[in-house]
């Protein structure tokens, strides 16, 4: 059975002050009326509607100003949440709107209903995340949430780039070739004439034999001086 009531306070999911709503008779009788959150809809109580509307307007204006200032402050904050994670960085569990609300209260003394923290899915990865806050019907904000591991994560060993290895291999081969060339330069160069002979198609051995002195020249060098004639010796004695 339903009964119609006039709300005297803002009730999320039901209505705000001065709203006329239908609720279960037991809910109104056992909760709304005892908590003074609503009054029965009667001709006498309808006179209070205008006063309730005025109070509602004042409350909403105050909430709007408060949430506008909160949105400016939240945009500068970083909410750090520590979680358990494996060495590979994989989280154990997830970060929910309730966890974020608790950390806001603990770290910054900000009381925020978790229903105003909009998460499409719970956070399941380490790092920085941007979380949307529905602070008011006309005020939204973005909170930066940083999820960190309680245990240090092993840093991955960076492998040397394949290109660097290729360049080193090329450099080593180039140095070996250059070393072989320098060793070859230390050898004695061939005779210029031999080189010319090679260019003409002659063999360097034949050309070298042609340069050897002839037998006649050797004979001239080894020949002894001729003896003076005997007649000249006799003339010297006669004198």
Q: Would you say residue 13 has pLDDT above 60? A: yes
More reliable by pLDDT, 36 or 227:
36
More reliable by pLDDT, 107 or 189:
107
| pLDDT score of 73 | 94
Which CATH architecture does the domain made up of 2-64 adopt?
3-Layer(aba) Sandwich (3.40)
**% of residues, the chain, pLDDT over 90:** 49
Closest CA to 20 of 32, 8, 35: 8
| pLDDT score of 158 | 53
Q: For 138, what's the count of Cα atoms within 13 Å in the CB-facing half-sphere?
A: 9
Quick one: how far is CA 117 from the chain centroid? Answer: 29
Torsion-angle region of 195 (φ positive above 0: left; ψ -120 to 50: alpha; else: beta): alpha
* pLDDT tens digits for range 77-120: 999 999 998 888 888 889 999 999 999 999 999 999 999 999 98
Enter the CATH code of domain 75-149. 3.10.430.100
| pLDDT score of 1 | 84
Does residue 15 contact residue 8 with C-beta atoms inside 8 Å?
A: no
| pLDDT score of 44 | 85
Quick one: how far is CA 177 from the chain centroid? Answer: 40
| pLDDT score of 111 | 92
Find which of 75-79, 150-154, 175-179, 229-233 is predicted with most confidence, using mean pLDDT: 75-79
- Domain ranges in the chain? 2-64, 75-149
Q: What is the mean pLDDT of residues 200-211?
A: 46
pTM for this entry: 0.54
| pLDDT score of 172 | 63
């Amino acid at each position: 059975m339903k009964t119609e009531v006039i709300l005297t306070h803002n009730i999320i999911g039901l209505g705000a002050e001065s709203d006329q709503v239908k609720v279960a008779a037991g809910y109104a009788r056992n909760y709304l009326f005892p908590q003074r959150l609503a009054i029965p809809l009667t001709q006498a109580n309808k006179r209070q509607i205008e006063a309730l509307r005025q109070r509602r307007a004042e409350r909403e204006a105050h909430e709007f100003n408060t949430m506008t200032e909160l949105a400016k402050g939240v945009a500068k904050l970083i909410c750090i949440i520590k979680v358990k994670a494996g060495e590979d960085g994989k989280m154990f569990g997830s970060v929910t709107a309730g966890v974020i609300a608790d950390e806001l209260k603990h770290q910054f003394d900000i009381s925020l209903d978790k229903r105003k923290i909009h998460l499409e899915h719970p956070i399941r990865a380490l790092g920085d995340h941007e979380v949307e806050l529905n602070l008011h019907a006309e005020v939204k904000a973005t909170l930066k949430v940083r999820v960190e591991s309680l245990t240090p994560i092993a840093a991955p060993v960076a492998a040397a780039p394949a290109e660097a290895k290729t360049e080193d291999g090329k450099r080593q081969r180039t140095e070996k070739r250059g070393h072989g060339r320098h060793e070859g330069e230390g050898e004695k160069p061939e005779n210029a004439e031999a080189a010319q002979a090679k260019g003409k198609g002659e063999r360097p051995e034949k050309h070298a034999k042609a340069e050897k002195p002839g037998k006649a020249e050797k004979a001239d060098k080894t020949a002894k001086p001729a003896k003076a004639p005997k007649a000249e010796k006799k003339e010297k004695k006669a004198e």
